[in-house]
């Protein structure tokens, strides 16, 4: 970053900065931000990158380095770093101020640069706090789970299943079909056949895919990892399965706000405004929206309910942290 800031102070602020996909230049592909990106965006500069595995996008820069390496290889090796820097400075003087360029109509690069009117510097837009790179997406959440009092579920991942949906699944040898990360008993008479489950916020209905016959109806699971059958319609836990609350149902959480103004819910991060770090405020979700309220119940912001895990949300902006 020091090299870039020195160049900007000396030559002015560019509108865009083209680079390859190195970690320092494009950390967003790996799910976090970086100092250089934040520095450039703070100046209003738009960082852009070439296509991964396509170095010819930066062809001029790559070709320049080849010319420099050939020039250095034609001279005795520098015994010290200071001596190497003197050689690079000598090359720089020759390359920019003495060597005429055919593509520039016989001008040197320095003459062409001086004859070009600089563009106006970019104007930095107000930005919200950056995404903390050390933030953890899993949070302690609360789910109603068909009880009057919320049940605290520590540091768990939620199941992002659609509120309304359908599927085609095959009945197993034991007469069960798996949907919404739960197992439902249909009948051993349908083993190997395709059934068509349809679900909403309250029930899951199974139909014969061949003739549309209604087979059985079960309550909509409020979490993953449960078994539903004729002898236990209210579910029993599946052996070895985790029980992650389903976000398709309504619920709430009261997480703490991070230093950057974000809080975690539904395995996502939401911007909560300039609130004191560590303060706990309410996040309430329905089948379609996520609402953030302050301690007095007033709405701070509202977002569409996420359909993916590990994304960051703030007004008018959503980004993925998946690599």
pLDDT digits (tens, 9 = 90+) for 211-261: 889 999 988 887 777 888 876 655 777 766 665 655 556 777 778 888 777
Residues 193 and 89 placed together within one structural domain of the fold: no
At which of 213, 237, 261 does a domain end?
Answer: 237
Q: What is the pLDDT of residues 7-45, one digit of tens each?
A: 888 888 888 888 877 777 766 655 556 778 778 877 888
The domain that contains 52 carries what CATH number? 3.30.420.10
Residues 218 and 260 placed together within one structural domain of the fold: no
In a domain, 131, yes or no: no
Residues 110 and 22 placed together within one structural domain of the fold: yes
The pLDDT value given to residue 82:
94
CA distances (Å), origin 135, targets 131, 152, 254: 8, 21, 17
User: Would you call 10 helix, strand, or coil by DSSP?
Assistant: helix
In a domain, 67, yes or no: yes
Structure tokens at 156: 């768990």
Following CA atoms 285, 290, 296, 298 in sequence, which dihedral angle do they give, to the nearest 10 degrees? -130
With beta carbons less than 8 A apart as the criterion, state whether 48 and 18 touch.
yes
Residues 107 and 215 placed together within one structural domain of the fold: no
Backbone angles phi, psi at 142, to 5 degrees: -120, 140
Rounded CA gap, 305 and 220, in Å?
19
Q: What is the pLDDT of residues 280-301, one digit of tens each?
A: 888 888 878 888 887 777 888 8
At which of 175, 208, 237 does a domain end?
Answer: 237
Residues 11 and 110 placed together within one structural domain of the fold: yes
Specify the pTM: 0.38
Structure tokens at 314: 């703030």
Residues 173 and 310 placed together within one structural domain of the fold: no
170 has pLDDT over 90: yes
In a domain, 26, yes or no: yes
Backbone angles phi, psi at 130, to 5 degrees: -70, 160
Residues 146 and 100 placed together within one structural domain of the fold: no
Q: Where is mean pLDDT largest: 105-114, 157-166, 260-269?
A: 105-114
By residue range, what is the domain housing residue 36? 2-114
């Amino acid at each position: 970053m020091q090299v870039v800031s020195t160049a900007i102070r000396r030559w002015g602020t560019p509108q865009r900065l083209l680079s390859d996909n190195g970690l320092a230049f494009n950390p967003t592909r790996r799910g976090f931000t970086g100092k250089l990106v934040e520095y450039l965006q703070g100046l209003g500069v738009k960082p852009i990158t070439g296509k991964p595995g396509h170095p010819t996008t930066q062809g001029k820069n790559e070709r320049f380095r080849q010319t420099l390496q050939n020039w250095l290889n034609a001279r005795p090796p520098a015994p010290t770093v200071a001596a190497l820097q003197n050689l690079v400075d000598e090359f720089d003087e020759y390359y920019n101020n003495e060597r005429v360029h055919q593509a520039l109509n016989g001008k040197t690069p320095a003459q062409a640069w001086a004859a070009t009117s600089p563009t106006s510097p970019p104007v930095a837009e107000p930005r919200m706090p950056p995404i903390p790179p050390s933030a953890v997406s899993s949070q302690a959440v609360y789910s109603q789970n068909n009880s009057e009092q919320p049940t605290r579920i520590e540091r768990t991942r939620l199941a992002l299943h659609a509120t309304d949906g359908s599927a085609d699944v095959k009945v197993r040898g034991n007469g069960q079909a798996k949907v919404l990360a739960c197992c439902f008993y249909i009948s051993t008479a349908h083993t190997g056949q395709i059934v068509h489950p349809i679900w909403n916020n309250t029930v899951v209905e199974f139909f014969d895919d061949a003739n549309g016959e209604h087979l059985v109806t079960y309550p909509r699971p409020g979490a993953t990892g449960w078994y539903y059958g004729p002898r236990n319609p209210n579910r029993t836990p599946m052996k070895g399965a985790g029980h992650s609350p389903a976000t398709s149902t309504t619920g709430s959480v009261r997480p703490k706000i991070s230093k950057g103004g974000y809080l975690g819910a539904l395995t996502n991060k939401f911007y909560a405004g300039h609130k004191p770090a560590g303060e706990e405020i309410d996040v309430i979700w329905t089948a379609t929206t996520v609402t953030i309220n302050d301690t007095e119940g007033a709405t701070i912001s509202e977002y569409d309910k996420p359909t993916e895990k590990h994304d960051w949300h703030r007004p008018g902006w959503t980004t993925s942290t998946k690599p």
